[in-house]
Every structure is written in C-alpha cells, then in structure tokens.
Amino acid sequence: MSDERRDRGRSRDDGGAGRKGSDGRRADGGSVQRPADRSRHTDATRLAAYTVMRAVSDGAYANLELPKQLREKGIRGRDAAFATELVYGATRMRGLYDPVIALASGRGVEAIDANVLDTLRLGVHQLLGMRVPVHAAVDETVALARQVNGIGASGFVNAVMRRVSERDRDAWLTHVVPEGLEPTAARAIRTSHPEWIVRALRAALLGHGAATADTVDAELDALLAADNAPARVTLVARPGLSSIDELLEAGGERGRLARTAVVLDEGDPGAIRAVREGRAAVQDEGSQLVALAVAAAEVEREDGSGSEEWLDLCAGPGGKAGLLAGLALLRGAGLVANEVSDHRAELVRHTLAPAIADGGDGQITVRVGDGREIGADEPDSYDRVLIDAPCTGLGALRRRPEARWRRQPADVVALASLQRELLASGIDATRPGGVIAYATCSPHLNETRFVVLDVVKERDDVEVVDARSLFARPDGSPVSDLGDGPFVQLWPHRHGTDAMFFALLRKR
C-alpha cells in the first residue's frame, strides 16, 4: 500500500502541517491529529514490520523472520518492499536514531520500554530515512503505538514523533554529533556503527592494502556508507541444475563479477521456478566468487587419475555448498558437505537436494560432524577443501542489519581460536598436491590474514598460493582491487559484494 493510498480520504486542510521549510521545520511544529482522534490500528505493512522488530530483539534474524511475516500476512510487491525498508533501515540506523529519540524524549533510550522503543525506531526511520510524508509517518506510528503498546504509550510516542519531525536529518546530526566530538565516536553515530567496528574496519582497510594513511578516512566513509545501503538481490544459477538464461528470462540481469550471477532489481525471488525448485538461489556475488575460485584452483595429483574428492568443512547453511555441488556434478567429482549442527546440516541437505537427486550413488553427501576432527579422522583424503569459517560477519552488515549490534569484540577472540583449529584440520584432511581454501565473511584482520599466517608458520607441509587470478569476470577479465596478494579481499564499496576474504593454500 503506497503512502498516498494510506492517506486517501484524509482530505482535511491542515493549514500547512506536514510541510517542511528549507530548514526542515514543520510549519506548525505539530502533527495533523490529536492521538485520541487517530485510528486505533495501523496498516498491515507497518504491523508486520513491528512484529519482525520485536522478534529480532528476542534473537531472531531479520532475513528469516521478515519473509515469514510477509507470507503470513499476504504482503507483496511494493508493500513488501516498504516493510523491508522499515525493518532493515530502522535496525541498521538505530545507532543514529536512538540518540535522536533520547534528545526528543528527554530521557535515555534505556529508560524507554523496549516495545515502545521499537515503535519509535520505525517511526523515526520514516521521518529521517524515508520519503514518507510527515503526517503519515506521525499518524501511522501513533496508531501503531495504540495498537501494540497501549493508549498511554501512544501519547508519549506522539510527543516524541512531533519533536523529531521539527528537524530534518541534517539538523538532528548537528545535535547528536556536536563539534569537537572524537572522530571515531562522531563517525560511529553518523554512520550508525559501534565504535569498535569502525576501528576494526579502518584497520582492515589499511591491513589489506585497500587504503593508505592518506586515503583511509575517505575509504572508511565509503565502506560505512555501503554498509547502510540496501544490497541488491543476487541469484546464483547452480551449474548443471539451472542456467543464466533461465534466470534472465525471469527478469534479471547478468552479474558484473561472477559468471553464475544474475541480479534481480525487483520482484520476489521465490516466484521464480528455478529458485522454488532449489536449482537456483539467492546468493551474494562475492560468495559465488569464492566457490568458483575453489573449483578453479589447480590441483596436483600424484597418480593423475580418478575423480576428485571435495570437502566443504563448515557447509551450513549451504550457499557455497550448493554452488560447489553443481560444479562437482559437471566435473564428476564427489562432494562431502559437513556441518557440526544437526539443524544446519538439515538446511544444507535441503539446499543440496536437487544435486543429490541428480548425482546418485553418494556423489553428493551431507553429514554431521565436528570439522576440527576431520583432519585426524580422514587424513590426506580430499583434493579440494573449503573452510568457510564461522566469523563475526562484519563483511555482511548490509544484509544482516542486526549483526552490528549483537557482535562484541570478545567474539573475535573466541572465533579466531576456532578458525585456526578448523584451518589446521582442513590442511590435515587434504591430499598432497591438493588445495585448501579459507574464507570468511569478515575483513577483520584477526579473522583473516592473521589466522592464515599463524597456522602456516607452524607447518612445513603447506604453502600460500596467490589467489587473485582465480577471481575472474564472466568475460574472463580479472576482478580488480583485490589487494596486493596473495590473499583476496572484496569490499562492498568497491565490488558491490559482501566483504569476503579468501586465502588459498596448497599441501606440499
């Protein structure tokens, strides 16, 4: 439902209320109606967005919870896009919106009931981050508050929304980011990232060779801005199961980087037959490049005969395994997709079902096991091993809006220990002459370069291979701006992908 349709029938003369001057102030400083005169119920789209926000606050993931709510409420098309922007935008930008709410309400956000705070975040995003008319943003947010927070709370929400509507985004920035504030703190509020993440991303840009001391601030600002921009929906045509042409006919356009990628500018991916049948899927183009690089790396086999055996050591939830499975079918290779969690292994099994059906005779296998033990249990068994290691996900903040608020610096330490163990196990499981790919969806130096270098320096049976030549565009030309080598680092602001890290090792 468009905002014009939402406001249809409200043919009042508001005396200029809802219009803004050049300084962003409301003509009358107020909203159109008193709380008591407004609707007691908001529209289904905003209610769905609020429901998802509350689920996320309780630990759910927006990318899983939102589609479920949209299906249950029958919300499609532009209304679904509106709900998606509400949830993702309000969640991403809470680092900016919460200080605004605190100033407008005269109290810290920790003193505001969590349910009411989510209502206000949705409302403030409509005022400061979307093109929703002011009167619609205020009226519908108050109506939502009446419906889900109660009449008493709706008066508080009305007062805060009226106060927020008195200034535009730039004017509020001057209040919540005062002159003289320490640069990292100012950048954190302005771009709505925790300070520790701002510092980590700055160090990553320098450490991966993507910036110098002279350029790092500009690069960092571009990266943080890219984190706050909605990611385009990218599909993967799984080789042997689907084709680029099939997805192009469904309304997509070719991806810029991966030969298996198609970008969908609008529409529901689930409406595409190949996606419904699991022959294609939604997958970031950077993630596709990683899987393609694993399959493209040169393997040196002693006997030079027989089919290759591949291992995805940490396969859940199955995106890269799905692409590897299609490539394995075409090459006559075997693939074992391992996952430590029963639940996640079931997700992998569902993802790989079309490939398993096509492969037969156990060519594609999903199993449950601790990846740290495979090297000891199956030494020198695989030609290609992918360790898509559990990580903080700092490279996918565009797609996972809640991640920046859930992760803490201590997570990096705990994950880095696990990452080293998984990489060591993957090396042990690889045959001499085989290759080991280590990947993370994080550019954090303690999850990427330092992990690989620490493991390699303790071993004499493995060498680092320059991986940059494995990242090629559909026409065969090299993907640019990958770093100085031998590692590869992708960036949202340079490549339009998640910030994937990739390292390639060869077993001596």
CA-nearest of 257, 240, 271 to 355 is: 240
Residue range 120-163, pLDDT digits in tens: 999 999 999 999 999 999 999 999 999 999 999 999 999 999 99
- pLDDT of res. 322: 97
379, pLDDT greater than 70: yes
pLDDT band at 306 (very low <50, low <70, confident <90, very high): confident
Question: Which residue is it, tokens 């219009």?
Answer: 19
pTM: 0.90
- Name the least confident of 14-23, 67-76, 78-87, 132-141: 14-23
CA distance 96 to 214: 27
pLDDT band at 66 (very low <50, low <70, confident <90, very high): very high
Residue range 327-358, pLDDT digits in tens: 999 999 999 999 999 999 999 999 999 999 98
Percent of the chain clearing pLDDT 90 (strictly above): 87
Report the chain's mean pLDDT, rounded to a whole number.
Answer: 91
CA distance 268 to 289: 24
- Name the least confident of 7-21, 250-264, 294-308, 397-411: 7-21
Stretch 279-301: mean pLDDT:
96
Superfamily of domain 3-170: NusB-like (1.10.940.10)
Stretch 361-378: mean pLDDT:
94
Q: Is the dihedral of CA 425, 453, 403, 277 positive or negative?
A: negative
196, pLDDT greater than 90: yes
List the domain boundaries for the chain: 3-170, 177-227, 298-507
Q: Is the dihedral of CA 180, 183, 188, 191 positive or negative?
A: positive
DSSP class of residue 311 equals E
pLDDT band at 36 (very low <50, low <70, confident <90, very high): very low
15, pLDDT greater than 80: no
227, pLDDT greater than 50: yes
- pLDDT of res. 281: 97
Hey, which residues does 489 pair with through a beta bridge?
501
CA distance 369 to 337: 10
202, pLDDT greater than 70: yes
- pLDDT of res. 39: 56
Active site residues: 441
Paired tokens of 59: 């630990």
Helix H, strand E, coil C: the string for 79-98 is HHHHHHHHHHHHHHCHHHHH
Phi and psi based region of residue 407 (left: phi greater than 0; alpha: psi -120 to 50; beta: remaining): beta
Stretch 216-232: mean pLDDT:
96
CATH class, range 298-507: alpha beta
Residue range 231-271, pLDDT digits in tens: 999 999 999 999 999 999 988 999 999 999 999 988 789 88
Instruction: For 189-233, give the DSSP string.
Output: HHHT--HHHHHHHHHHHHHTTS--TTTHHHHHHHHHHHHTSPPPE
